[in-house]
Amino acid sequence: MLTIPTMRIAVIGQSVFGAEVFKLLRKNGHEIVGVFTLQDVNGKQDPLALAAANVGVKVFKYSKWMVNKKVIPEVYDEYQALNAELNVLPFCSQFIPNEIILFPKYQTIIYHPSLLPCHRGASAINWTLMCGDKKGGFSIFWADDGLDTGPILLQRSTFVDPNDTLETFYNRFCFPEGIKAMGEAVEMIATNRAPSIVQPEEGATFEPFVRKDKVQINFDQPAAVIHNFIRGNDKVPGAWTLINGEQITFFGSRLWSRLPPRGIQVPIDGVKYSAIVHKDGMILFGNDGKMLNVSQVQYSSGKMIPASKFGKEDSSTQKLELTPEEVSMENNLKAIWKGILNTDIDKTLDFFKAGAGSMDVVRLIEEIKVSFDIKLAIEDVYMNPVFDDLMMCVIRRGRGIEDKEPFTYDAVEIEANKMKLKFPHQVFIDNEFVDSSDGATYNTINPADETVICKVSKATKEDVNRAVEAAKAAFEEGEWSKLNARDRGMLLFRLADLMEQHQEELATIESLDSGAVYTLALKTHIGMSIQTFRYFAGWCDKIQGKTIPINNARPNKNLTFTKREPIGVCAIVVPWNYPLMMLSWKIAACLAAGNTVVLKPAMVTPLTALKFAELSVLAGFPPGVINILPGSGTLVGQAMSEHPDIRKLGFTGSTPVGKTIMESCAKANLKKVSLELGGKSPLIIFNDCDLDKAVRLGCGAVFFNKGENCIAAGRLFVEESIHDEFVQRVIEEIKKMKIGNPLDRSTDHGPQNHRAHLQKLIEYCDIGVKEGATLVRGGKQCDLPGLFFEPTVFTNVEDHMMIAKEESFGPVMIISKFIDGDVNGVLQSANNTEFGLASGVFTQDIDKAMRVADSLDAGTVFINTYNKTDVAAPFGGFKQSGFGKDLGEEALNEYLKTKTVTLEYK
Q: 193-197 long-range CB contacts below 8 Å, 24 or more apart?
A: 194/153, 194/154, 195/151, 195/152, 195/153, 195/154, 196/142, 196/151, 196/152, 196/153, 197/151, 197/152, 197/153
- The 8-class DSSP code of residue 524 comes to I
Those residues whose C-beta lies under 8 Å from the C-beta of residue 871, and which sit 6 or more positions away, are: 528, 531, 532, 535, 536, 887, 888
Helix (H) or strand (E) holding 769: helix 755-770
Distance CA 697, CA 842 (A): 10
Distance CA 586, CA 589 (A): 6
Rg, the chain, Cα only = 37
710 given a catalytic annotation: yes
Residue 874 amino acid letter = P
653 is in an annotated binding site: yes
Note the Cα 733 to chain centre separation in Å. Answer: 51
Choice among 207, 432, 614, 676 that is catalytic: 676
112 given a catalytic annotation: yes
- The 8-class DSSP code of residue 707 comes to G
Choice among 710, 749, 757, 790 that is catalytic: 710
808 is in an annotated binding site: yes
Phi, psi (rounded to 5 degrees) for 338: -65, -35
39 is in an annotated binding site: no
Distance CA 254, CA 165 (A): 10
Those residues whose C-beta lies under 8 Å from the C-beta of residue 555, and which sit 6 or more positions away, are: 906
- Secondary structure E strands in 696-837: 713-719, 774-777, 792-795, 812-818, 835-836
638 is in an annotated binding site: yes
User: What residues form DSSP beta bridges with 34?
Assistant: 10
3-state secondary structure of 53: helix
Pairing outcome for strands 66-67 and 70-71: antiparallel
875 is in an annotated binding site: no
Those residues whose C-beta lies under 8 Å from the C-beta of residue 493, and which sit 6 or more positions away, are: 533, 534, 537
Inter-residue contact 651 to 671 (CB < 8 Å): no
641 is in an annotated binding site: no
Cβ count near 208 (within 10 Å): 10
Those residues whose C-beta lies under 8 Å from the C-beta of residue 282, and which sit 6 or more positions away, are: 250, 266, 275, 276, 293, 294, 297, 307, 308, 310
Choice among 20, 85, 92, 112 that is catalytic: 112
Q: 892-895 long-range CB contacts below 8 Å, 24 or more apart?
A: 892/536, 892/539, 892/543, 892/564, 892/589, 892/592, 892/593, 894/589, 894/648, 894/650, 894/672, 894/674, 895/566, 895/567, 895/570, 895/589, 895/590, 895/592, 895/593, 895/595, 895/648
- Burial (CB < 10 A; 0-12, 13-18, 19+), residue 544, is exposed
- Burial (CB < 10 A; 0-12, 13-18, 19+), residue 401, is middle
96 is in an annotated binding site: yes
Inter-residue contact 203 to 268 (CB < 8 Å): no
Cβ count near 653 (within 10 Å): 23
637 is in an annotated binding site: yes
Pairing outcome for strands 547-548 and 557-566: antiparallel
The percent helix, strand, coil of the chain (3-state, each to 5) is 35, 25, 40
Distance CA 1, CA 804 (A): 91
95 is in an annotated binding site: yes
633 is in an annotated binding site: yes
Those residues whose C-beta lies under 8 Å from the C-beta of residue 422, and which sit 6 or more positions away, are: 411, 412, 413
297 is in an annotated binding site: no
Those residues whose C-beta lies under 8 Å from the C-beta of residue 301, and which sit 6 or more positions away, are: none
Binding residue ranges: 94-96, 148, 633-638, 653-654, 760, 807-809
| Residues assigned a catalytic role | 112, 676, 710
Binding residue ranges for (6R)-10-formyltetrahydrofolate: 94-96, 148
Binding residue ranges for NADP(+): 633-638, 653-654, 760, 807-809
